[in-house]
Amino acid sequence: MIMGYKEEFQESIEKPEYFWRKQAELIKWYEFPNNILSEDENGFYRWFKGGKLNTSYLLLDYHIECGRGDQTALIYDSPVTNSQSKFSFKELLEKVANFAGVLRDNGIEKGDRAIIYMPMIPEALVAMLACARLGAIHSVVFGGFAPKELAIRIDDAKPKILLTASCGIEFSNVIEYKPLVDEAIRISQHPPQTVILLQRLQSKASMKTGRDLDWNELSNRSSPASPVPVDATDPLYILYTSGTTGLPKGVVRDNGGHAVALKYSMKAIFNSEPGDVYWAGSDVGWVVGHSYIVYAPLIHGCTTVLYEGKPVKTPDAGSFWRIISEHQVNTFFTAPTAFRAVKKEDPTAKLKDKYDISCLRYLFLAGERLDPPTYEWLKEILEIPVIDHWWQTESGWPMCSNMMGLEPYPVKIGSPTFPVPGYNVKILDDEGESCQPGETGNIVVKLPLPPSCLPTLWNDDKRFRDSYLSKYPGYYLTGDGGLIDNDGYVYVMGRVDDVINVAGHRLSTGQMEELIASHPAVAECAVVGIDDELRGQIPVGFAVLKDGINISQDQLEQEMVTIIRKEIGAVAYFKQSVIVSRLPKTRSGKILRKTIRQLAKGEDVPAPPTIDDPAILKEICQVMESCGVGSFAPKS
């Protein structure tokens, strides 16, 4: 019997072992697990103990055995190099098995770590799956990260090998990777023994004798490696995410839970079928790239798209529509900020009309809050479901979503709808008491977390417990604030530290951003809390205008003040906003609100390692100084 969402969710919460055993039976194991759910020596929950499998086998060999070998597995589309290529499951397996042989020949075994520091090219995916084939643990670091940040990750993971390319390409700029790698290794305490480098046509890197090896030369003389069975609880990868101490946290993803949950998600959430074309417009350096460029589509037998380009300027704001049309994409997943960039340059979506995108069935958005103006714009220009969903690096797959493969529900703008089966989401106040429907609090998930969620942090069980489990015993602390309404819809208002306290009133900057973004002149915005002697904090808006809009600073500020006063009230004390040409963001598109707050305090803020363009920080400071914001305001 096919269950609807409510029945499936209830079963997942009340009978988690029964529910996840059924999902585990949908993938092929070398040995089926004898324990579906258990606890380890630290009291942390683990899924599928005793099971043996290989993730690379599930993504490649299995599909060939099932007769899908000639189906396209990977489409590589690179407008920055004006090139495209396609690989069938057979062809991709040949490349992965061969490079696994290269790693094996260089001493890489089960449990060894490999750092992957590469651009969005097929070899990055090949490197990830080659590590998985041997049972080695990969840690992908976003290509172009500063040497210091790469060195921190090297010293934490202690890799035996580092895999890289000579360069990446940002728009038309060639970013030399090798000097960054050399400097990171120089300053690290636990440098890798070996560097394998892929020389790209756009740049030829120098090689260090005795350490650096040529990717293609090794591949040409290697023999393929077979998949190595690993335990379900063995790590597949480490992915570093920002931490409050400044040191990144190494999120661990295991093999068994990861495979089961991602396989489940492809049908239940995304309603994808084997053979569909699935595209996640992200980067393999982020969790979305891991889960929904590489692992989930391939484990489900879909064709995945690897895009080396941007939403705009490669060459224009029609890039997304071109790829969807050209490669017959059925499901597209990206971040709201990507479409805000498209909307800014093409507000009436004229470029979309150049392409036939009738193949597209669903658009999924995550990575940050989906603001209502962006949602409404997309619904206006598209005739398909636009799905807001919410998750984290720590979860590895969606935590809340409208379930397209189960039972879609009416959309409520601003909400990612309901918890995904397996996630028992609750809202607690600061004292740990349950919040009433509609009351804002801390979003938590009752333990156990479902499969694929982090079982711990790499070599740091204490930090895992302190960061996620200690504040509310029996619950996982997401770090996000929000509410659940009377109908059970979840609203995620942003990180808890984005809730500001104005004269004793706790107010959501996310709600203010929604209102400001509704202004017809605003392409995107950020609202941050600035320290104020009298009220504790006051909100300040930072707005980027749509192209072609001509409005004065004073007029926009007054209109924003009117909007906030009408919808929230004078209690918000929203009196100041500034126009900026752009907002500081991470390379994945998240606005760096904490950095803006620090700048407003007059702090000497180093450019965060994830920032897409450090030059914007100087511009933000200049604008705040000219407008008298924060520490730049005249003292009374």
Which tokens go with 447? 């333990």
Best CA proximity match to 118, nearest among 133, 105, 99: 99
Token representation of residue 55 = 């993730």
State whether 166 and 298 are in the same domain: yes
Are 471 and 540 in the same domain?
A: no
Q: Are both 474 and 507 inside the same structural domain?
A: no
285 neighbors 316 (Cβ within 8 angstroms): no
CA dist list (Å): 196 to 13, 103, 142, 594: 46, 9, 17, 37
- 593-599 long-range contacts (CB < 8 A, ≥24 apart) are 593/498, 593/509, 593/526, 593/528, 594/497, 596/526, 596/528, 596/542, 596/620, 597/528, 597/529, 597/530, 599/624, 599/630
Candidates 258, 334, 268; CA nearest to 296 is 258
Query: Across the 636 residues of the chain, what is the mean pLDDT of every consecutive 10-residue run?
Result: 84 98 98 97 97 98 98 98 98 98 98 98 98 98 85 96 96 93 96 98 96 97 97 97 72 98 98 98 93 98 97 96 98 92 94 98 91 92 96 96 95 96 96 94 97 97 96 96 96 76 70 89 91 79 92 92 83 87 83 86 80 85 85 66
The DSSP secondary structure of 37-86, one letter per residue, reads EEE-TTS-EEEEET-EE-HHIIIIIHHHHTT-TTSEEEEEEETTTTEEEE
Pairing of strands 499-502, 505-508: antiparallel
Side-chain-facing half-sphere of 447: CA atoms under 13 Å: 20
Alpha carbons within 13 A on the beta-carbon side of 28: 15
CA dihedral in degrees (367, 371, 374, 376; nearest 10)?
130
- Report yes or no: 568 and 315 within 8 Å, Cβ to Cβ: no
Backbone Cα Rg of the chain: 24
Side chain identity at residue 315, one-letter code: P
For 575, what's the count of Cα atoms within 13 Å in the CB-facing half-sphere?
Answer: 12
Residue 296 lies in a domain: yes
pLDDT of 1: 41
In a domain, 372, yes or no: no
Q: 426 with 512, same domain?
A: no
**Lookup: tokens for 473:** 């015993």
Give 259: exposed, middle or buried? Use CB within 10 Å, 0-12, 13-18, 19+.
buried
Co-location of 170 and 218 in the same domain? yes
> What's the sign of the alpha-carbon dihedral 502, 507, 510, 516?
negative
Amino acid (1-letter code) at residue 109: E
Structure tokens at 318: 């029609």
Per the domain annotation, does 344 fall within a domain?
Answer: no
Identify the pLDDT of residue 497: 64
Classify residue 465: in a domain, yes or no: yes
User: Residue 259 in contact with residue 397, Cβ under 8 Å?
Assistant: no
Instruction: Choose the final residue of a domain: 482, 511, 535.
Output: 482
Examine residue 317 and state whether it is found in any structural domain, yes or no.
no
- CA separation (Å) from 216 to 99, 200, 232, 443? 10, 11, 32, 48
Structure tokens at 123: 């070899």
Looking at the structure, do residues 467 and 507 belong to the same domain, yes or no?
A: no
Residue 322's DSSP bridge partners are none
Of 434, 449, 482, which closes a domain? 482
Residue 590 and residue 583: Cα distance in Å, rounded?
A: 10
Q: Cα–Cα distance between 125 and 116 in angstroms, integer? A: 10
Is 347 domain-assigned? no
| Distance in angstroms (rounded) separating the CA atoms of residues 227 and 136 | 11
Can you give the pLDDT at residue 196?
A: 98
Show Cβ contacts of residue 289 under 8 Å, excluding neighbours closer than 6 positions. 140, 280, 282, 283
Residue 333 and residue 480: Cα distance in Å, rounded?
22
Q: Which two tokens stand for residue 286?
A: 């982020």
Report if residue 488 sits inside a domain. Answer: no
Q: Would you state the structure tokens that stand for residue 477, as one six-digit string?
A: 């602390």
Query: What CATH number is attached to the domain comprising 247?
Result: 3.40.50.12780
Tokens of 292: 């929904």
User: What is the reported pTM?
Assistant: 0.85
Distance (Å, rounded) from C-alpha 222 to C-alpha 136? 18
Same domain? For 405 and 514 the reply is: no
Instruction: Give the domain range for residue 570.
Output: 503-632
Helices 5-14 and 16-24, axial angle in degrees (round to 10): 110
- Answer with the one of 482, 517, 533 that is the final residue of a domain: 482
State whether 467 and 610 are in the same domain.
Answer: no
- State the CATH number of the domain containing residue 530: 3.30.300.30
Do 34 and 128 reside in the same domain of the chain? Answer: yes
Q: Are 166 and 213 members of one domain?
A: yes
Q: For the chain, how many structural domains are there in total?
A: 2
Same-domain status, 516 and 478: no
Omega of the bond prior to 450 within 30 degrees of 0, cis?
no
Residue 379: inside a domain, yes or no? no
Q: What is the C-alpha separation between 436 and 246, in angstroms, rounded?
A: 35
Same domain, 519 and 456: no
